[in-house]
Amino acid sequence: MDVMSQLQRQWLEHSAFLRKEGYLDDQFEQLQKLQDESSPDFVIEVVSIFFDDSEKLLSNMARALEQKVVDFKQVDAHVHQFKGSSASIGAMRVKNVCIEFRNYCEAQNLEECLRCTRKLQFEYSVLKNQLEYLFRLEQQIRAAGG
């Protein structure tokens, strides 16, 4: 099998894996459908914005939970935003943690909220690694394809 086919196969397998394991859902495919010659880097662009946005939100969440008197409405606002953005790119696992997190915000349960932050951080990191791997493969494919 030549290099190109190998890379393409790896890309397909990794994509399928991400779908199967629930890291990504249908929405990610919707993003891919929107990518074409006129917007060849659309997916990477959106996901990059997502990464920046997410890191900001995670740090805001952490800071809000560190306050002497925690403003759970504020925490919830950040989580709500994160839920929205993760849903928009198809980051299903991250989105699901956000849903859980919001329940604990409403219940004003600090311990559970802190646990959710850690879980969210974890899921986000894993997703980021997975997507960066996928994008690296794409880069290699482009390079091999000329």
Partner 1 sequence: MGMSTESQFHVLAVDDSIIDRKLIERLLKTSSYQVTTVDSGTKALEFLGLHEDDESNPETPSVSPNNHQEVEVNLIITDYCMPGMTGYDLLRKIKESSSLRDIPVVIMSSENVPSRISRCLEEGAEEFFLKPVRLSDVNRLRPHMMKTKLKDPKQENEENKEESGKPESRSQEEKEEQQQHHQQQQLHHLPQQQHSNSNKRKALEEGLSPDRTRPRYNGLTTVV
Our CB check for partner 1 shows the closer of 62 and 141 to be 141
Q: What burial class does residue 12 get, using C-beta atoms within 10 Å of its C-beta: 0-12 exposed, 13-18 middle, 19+ buried?
A: exposed
* Cα four-point dihedral sign 68, 55, 117, 91: positive
| SS3 label, residue 34 | coil
Beta carbons of 43 and 35 less than 8 angstroms apart: yes
Beta carbons of 11 and 134 less than 8 angstroms apart: yes
Our CB check for partner 1 shows the closer of 21 and 118 to be 21
Question: CB 90 → partner 1: shortest distance, Å?
Answer: 8
Question: CB 46 → partner 1: shortest distance, Å?
Answer: 6
Task: Say whether residue 3 binds partner 1 (CB under 8 A).
Answer: no
Residues within window 24-63 making contact with partner 1, judged by CB under 8 A: 26-27, 29-40, 42, 45-46, 49-50, 53
Residues within window 67-106 making contact with partner 1, judged by CB under 8 A: 80-81, 83-85, 87-90
Tokens found for residue 115: 């646990």
Give Cα separations from 85 to 9, 37, 98, 134 (angstroms): 29, 25, 11, 20
Stretch that binds partner 1, among 11-19, 65-73, 104-112, 119-127 (CB under 8 A): 11-19
The residue ranges that bind partner 1 (CB under 8 A) are 4, 8, 11-12, 15, 26-27, 29-40, 42, 45-46, 49-50, 53, 80-81, 83-85, 87-90, 138, 141-142, 144-145
